[in-house]
Chain A
């Protein structure tokens, strides 16, 4: 560093203590470092600075210029003032305390005396600061301002305008963190009004966070409203299992019922945020709809049974199938949403008791080959979540990350704010598109062609220099977040890539995928020119028939970009990573989950063992799943809720306990193993999945012999090579990232590991054609899962159900005009299989010729009309006359 550079640290005095902090630190943070807490309302370390409340005012004195008299200290806000050398800060000076007293007195002028009825009472910064700093009495004798009380900002968040102290935390959060400026202040001064900008309910998936941020009771939660006081609550540290982010949360319960969920800080995973599904979607632990008792089928009717009877009859039935047809005839599906302990018990049960290789957690997975991702080392997140903050370019392929892993989207947005260029390849526009740099709107199912196009563009014009020359050093906000700031390899040899690509050209690929060649070239140049490019791939692509080709193309892309960690696949469920590690993947000659169902429908698999898998709703071909359930001789189901699979197909149903009632561990997308603690006692006779498996195995004569979850954790950590460093059983509170393959050493942070095929170009196998060729009659249907789908976990809370969109189908304006359909019409989505009714949304998200519907919303699910052989079917839309539902049903049936 040049000798003239200013020093990077600053020494100042706060309340008589000297402290040295980096230049640019705020006075308030410097004080925090030496344990001095300055009271605040508007300041929040995760938000921008506004200096709106003046609560943090301190007496701050600057050293006089040489030869001059010192000037008296000024009153400055510690939250907006940066440290300076020789600065003297007095946080408790008489002027500053007087100032604070005045601030509180002013705030309380219009703040109602609501504490006894206010949900924030007992955990309210305004209460606490008033006690600590406020005047004993108010001199205010006039009438207080009256404003809206109990006004919903959405079905989930309630505003009390009288209580609002106008700190702008909520508006700043919405505008800055998820980038959805849905809230703003209207009017000013004492008539300031917090409103949604369009006066419509808020729609964001992150609105719950503003309840946490509000420093008083102005924003409260509709689901927690008046249910309890902070001192009533029992707390349990847990981890959300609604998506693979694995956000850390605290479950607050009262009288053995979940009353609210709060985020638990983990800077590496969720920072301090939760999405609304995580926050409002955990009430199902205490749902009244849960199955309370085992059931067995008798005369085609499920009837309640005792545990011993149910276990006995499942054991006899499974033993029968095993005796007659061998273990090969049994298929086991489950694990995506279970704890690692349940997964491990299930894996052992399948291999040791049922002796079947047909085990899988990836519902709908259809390649018969060995896991094509594992072959290239892509079956793990190859970089920790935090890396997204420092990426130079981020590509999202085949995922609506806002719906798939919402809180991870916040991390990607942070990366984008830090300068990452976002490249999105998706057949339709998603929330993320709003900040995208390149949008590759490709034909449905043409991801492989997009990747070929990018690779061909890289071959065509290899970058002249290493990417480090293009992007400057990583943004300053990121110290310490980059485990691998290793410079990219100096030369990037693209010669092998041409051979791997064969005769693919950019123009050819552009033709095949429907993205223009210029866009492909521009996106490729952005990727190649970026330091630390990262590519995130949606889970749906991992289980598609062309996954081997995608994996090969992606690993080639990583090699071509010189970025070993570039490619990460999202897992197929909350604990899919953990399930795979615990062994819930097809064994030698075993079938993947989709094939298990297909084979069962064909009568080759005779028994199905489904743990938390409602295959009728999740298998991509409901008709096939129905046949599978009908043809299988034995179907054993572990379930929380009376699902259609349990009701229609199960021979034996075991009620399982929910995550809130279990101890155990979960492994999130980035491979971080984290501990969950039980929050509730089980009131029904439901049992944890591992215990059911252990009991059943005992009955079948090969006991797993587990009596407590910790025993399984111990075995799991000792048995799975990736967990070996944890074998002493200590998992720290913030979790540890483990590698999928025990191989390559981790680098201090426990992260990393290679793409196995990195460094050499591999041939890209051609995948089957997935979508009909363009220019056909009808629309090509694209389906994805949405965050608020799978309503069974939300069904008990009407407020949350209100947030769930009515099942809809989305088409382009041009298509709607051509078909003569308008927004809001009820339409029937038809394939050769039949039709489902959906509400029409007309907008510009889908390109012409494509329509979209979420596949985890609405009954019947869209998989009713889908065919296993056609992931992107051609559909027609026809209007339905409303109010004639019976007619419509009859028609759909014929």
Chain B
């Protein structure tokens, strides 16, 4: 492949026409600024103001439940296998028949997402055969320590049905 040849700098021209060109450029720039001065701002006065996120925003994970309260996740580890960042750790266990946790024979005894590693690609959601995993619109994930970025199953599980959704403040 040939390199693009650089054009030679223009020869020095008439100083008057150069000054006119410079001033026009400045006026153009300021014009743009002025136009945006009168449009609606795109930034938010976060945290006083909250964003309205699109419905399919990929934020923090949530492990969903069935309507009867049982967990949808069966601990199959397919999400962990799909994850390109190796952010998920799942360990299955036998579902106790007398006090079932999921609807299958198996449930996730341990379910951990390392939010530092996660790149919010959503592959895990796609891989999940039971639609147990969702990426919700929760985006405020910053914290002061690495440990606190390890999200355990208790933190990720959706509350039982008939609950106040923790993201209910979100518009839309």
Asked if A235 lies at the interface with its beta carbon under 8 angstroms from chain B, I say no
Q: Mark B76-98, 1 if CB is under 8 A from A, else 0.
A: 11100100000000011110000
Smallest Cβ-Cβ distance to A259: which chain B residue: B91
Q: Is the CB of A226 within 8 A of B75?
A: yes
- Chain A residues near B (Cβ < 8 Å): 115-117, 121, 149-150, 225-229, 231-232, 254-255
Which B positions have Cβ atoms within 8 angstroms of A? 74-78, 81, 91-94, 104-106, 129-130
Chain A contacts of B106 at CB under 8 A?
A: 117, 226
The residues of B that contact A254 with a CB separation of less than 8 Å are 91
22 A-B Cβ contacts within 8 A? A115-B129, A116-B74, A116-B76, A116-B78, A116-B104, A116-B129, A116-B130, A117-B74, A117-B76, A117-B104, A117-B106, A121-B76, A149-B105, A226-B75, A226-B93, A226-B94, A226-B105, A226-B106, A227-B92, A229-B77, A231-B81, A232-B77
A114 CB to nearest B CB, Å: 8
**Known contacts A117-B106, A150-B105; A225/B76 CB under 8 A:** no
- Apart from A116-B76, A116-B104, A226-B93, list 17 A-B contacts with CB within 8 A: A116-B74, A116-B129, A116-B130, A117-B74, A117-B75, A117-B76, A117-B104, A117-B106, A149-B105, A150-B94, A226-B92, A226-B94, A227-B92, A227-B93, A228-B91, A231-B81, A232-B77
Q: In whole Å, how far is A119's beta carbon from the nearest beta carbon of chain B?
A: 9
Cα of A121 to Cα of B75 in the assembled complex, Å: 12
B105 with A229: CB separation less than 8 A? no
In angstroms, Cα B93 to Cα A150, docked, is 13
The distance in angstroms between the C-alpha atoms of A226 and B107, with both chains bound, is: 9
Closest to B81 in A: A231
Once the chains bind, are A117 and B77 in contact (CB under 8 Å)? no
The answer for the CA separation of A117 and B101 in the assembled complex, in Å, is 14
- Name the B residues within 8 Å of A227 (CB-CB): 91-93
Main secondary structure of the interface of A (DSSP, over half): loop
A228 to B78, CA, bound (A): 11
- Compute how far the CA of A226 lies from the CA of B77 in the bound complex, rounded to whole angstroms: 10
Q: Which residues of A contact B129 (CB under 8 A)?
A: 115-116
Give B70 Cβ to nearest chain A Cβ, in Å: 14
B105 neighbours in A (Cβ, 8 Å): 117, 149-150, 226
Distance in angstroms between the alpha carbons of A254 and B93 in the assembled complex:
14
Task: State in angstroms the CA–CA spacing of A226 and B106 once bound together.
Answer: 7
CB neighbours of B91 from chain A (8 A): 227-228, 254-255
In angstroms, Cα B77 to Cα A232, docked, is 9
- Roughly how many angstroms separate A373 CA and B77 CA in the complex, as a whole number? 56
A226 cross-chain contacts in B, Cβ below 8 A: 75, 92-94, 105-106
Shortest CB–CB separation between residue B92 and chain A, in angstroms? 4
**In the assembled complex, how far is the CB of residue A574 from the closest CB belonging to chain B, in whole angstroms?**
32
- Across the two chains, which residue of chain B brings its CB closest to A113? B129
Q: What chain B residues lie within 8 Å of A117 (beta carbons)?
A: 74-76, 92, 104-106
Given contacts A116-B76, A150-B105, contact A229 B130 (CB under 8 A): no
Once the chains are docked, how many angstroms separate the CA of A399 from the CA of B42?
86
8 closest A-B pairs (Cβ-Cβ)? A116-B76, A226-B92, A117-B106, A117-B104, A226-B106, A116-B129, A229-B77, A117-B74
Q: What are the residues of chain B within 8 A of A229 when measuring CB–CB?
A: 77, 81
> Bound complex: CA of A225 vs CA of B95, how far in Å?
11
Closest to A160 in B: B105
Residue of A whose beta carbon sits closest to that of B110: A255
Q: Measured between C-beta atoms, what is the minimum distance from A441 to chain B in Å?
A: 46
Distance between B102 CB and nearest chain A CB, rounded to angstroms: 9
| Most chain B CB atoms below 10 A, which of A150, A225, A229, A254 | A229
Complex alpha-carbon distance, A231 and B78, angstroms = 11
Of chain A, the residue at the smallest CB distance from B77 is A229
Q: How long is the Cα–Cα vector from A232 to B80 in the complex, in angstroms?
A: 10
The one of B74, B77, B94, B130 that contacts A225, using a Cβ cutoff of 8 Å: B94
Which residues of chain A are near B77, meaning CB under 8 Å? Answer: 229, 232
- Closest B residue to A255 by beta carbon equals B91
In Å, the complex CA distance between A115 and B78 comes to: 10
**What is the bound-complex CA distance between A547 and B35, given in angstroms?**
107
CA distance A371 to B133 in the complex (A): 68
Q: List residues of chain A with CB within 8 A of the CB of B76.
A: 116-117, 121
Task: For B74, list chain A residues within 8 Å (CB).
Answer: 116-117
Query: Taking CB as reference atom, which chain B residue is nearest A254?
Result: B91
A231 proximity list for chain B (CB < 8 A): 81
A121 neighbours in B (Cβ, 8 Å): 76
A121–B80 alpha-carbon span in the complex (Å) = 14
Nearest opposing residue in chain A for B104, CB measure = A117
Q: How far is the CB of A486 from chain B (nearest CB, A)?
A: 57
Which A residues are in CB contact (< 8 Å) with B75? Answer: 117, 226
For A116, what are the chain B residues with a Cβ–Cβ distance below 8 Å?
74, 76, 78, 104, 129-130
Chain A min CB distance to B146 (Å): 19
A27 to B80, CA, bound (A): 41
Residues of B within 8 A of A232 (CB): 77
In the bound complex, CA of A228 to CA of B75 (Å): 10
With A and B bound together, what is the CA distance between A254 and B91 in angstroms? 10
A149 to B105, CA, bound (A): 9
- Bound together, the chains give a CA A846 to CA B78 distance in angstroms of 55
A150 to B106, CA, bound (A): 11
Report Cα–Cα, A473/B80, bound state, in Å. Answer: 58
> Closest CB-CB distance, A591 to chain B, in whole Å?
51
CB distance from B103 to the nearest CB of A (A): 10
Chain B residue at minimum C-beta to C-beta distance from A149: B105
A122, closest chain B residue (CB):
B81
Q: How far is it, in angstroms, between the C-alpha of A229 and the C-alpha of B75 when the chains are bound? A: 10
Min CB distance, A104 to chain B, in Å? 20
User: For the complex, what is the distance from the CA of A745 to the CA of B139, rounded to whole Å?
Assistant: 75
Most buried by B among A115, A116, A228: A116
A255 neighbours in B (Cβ, 8 Å): 91
Chain B: minimal CB distance from A794 (Å) = 20
Distance, CA A616 to CA B81, complexed state (A): 50
User: B residues within 8 A CB of A225?
Assistant: 94
- Give Cα distance in the complex from A117 to B90, angstroms: 13
Nearest-neighbour CB distance to chain B for A256, whole angstroms, equals: 13
In the complex formed, the residue of A with least CB distance to B129 is A116
Q: How far is the CA of A229 from the CA of B78 in the complex (A)?
A: 9
The distance from the CB of A163 to the nearest CB of chain B, in whole angstroms, is 11
| B85 CB, nearest partner CB in chain A, Å | 16
Q: Inside 8 A of A150's CB, which chain B residues have their CB?
A: 94, 105
Q: Complex formed: what's the CA distance from A117 to B95 in Å?
A: 11
Q: Bound complex: CA of A255 vs CA of B104, how far in Å?
A: 25
Q: In the complex, what distance in Å separates the CA atom of A225 from the CA atom of B106?
A: 9
Q: Which residues of A contact B92 (CB under 8 A)?
A: 117, 226-228
Q: Enumerate chain A residues within 8 angstroms of B130, measured Cβ to Cβ.
A: 116
Q: How far is the CA of A150 from the CA of B96 in the complex (A)?
A: 12
Give the Cβ gap from A141 to chain B, nearest Cβ, in Å.
21
Q: How far is the CA of A229 from the CA of B129 in the complex (A)?
A: 16
| Cβ contacts under 8 Å, B93 to chain A | 226-227
Distance in angstroms between the alpha carbons of A232 and B91 in the assembled complex: 10
Q: How far, in angstroms, from A121 to B78 measured CA to CA in the complex?
A: 10
From B74, B77, B130, residue with most partner A Cβ within 10 Å: B77
Nearest Cβ in chain B — how far from A413, in angstroms?
35
Closest to B130 in A: A116
Cα A270 to Cα B79 with chains together (Å): 38
**Distance between A123 CB and nearest chain B CB, rounded to angstroms:** 13
CA distance A255 to B110 in the complex (A): 12
Distance, CA A115 to CA B77, complexed state (A) = 11
Shortest Cβ distance from A150 into B: residue: B105
The chain B residue with its CB closest to the CB of A229 is B77
C-alpha gap A116/B75 in the complex (Å): 8
Docked complex Cα distance between A455 and B92 (Å): 62
Contacts of A149 in B (CB 8 A): 105
Distance in angstroms between the alpha carbons of A254 and B130 in the assembled complex? 25
Distance in angstroms between the alpha carbons of A763 and B91 in the assembled complex: 66
Distance between B50 CB and nearest chain A CB, rounded to angstroms:
37
User: Roughly how many angstroms separate A786 CA and B93 CA in the complex, as a whole number?
Assistant: 32
Q: Give CA–CA (A225, B77) in the complex, Å.
A: 14
Residues from chain A with a CB closer than 8 A to the CB of B78 are 116
Provide the residues of chain A in CB contact with B104, threshold 8 Å.
Answer: 116-117
A117 to B81, CA, bound (A): 14
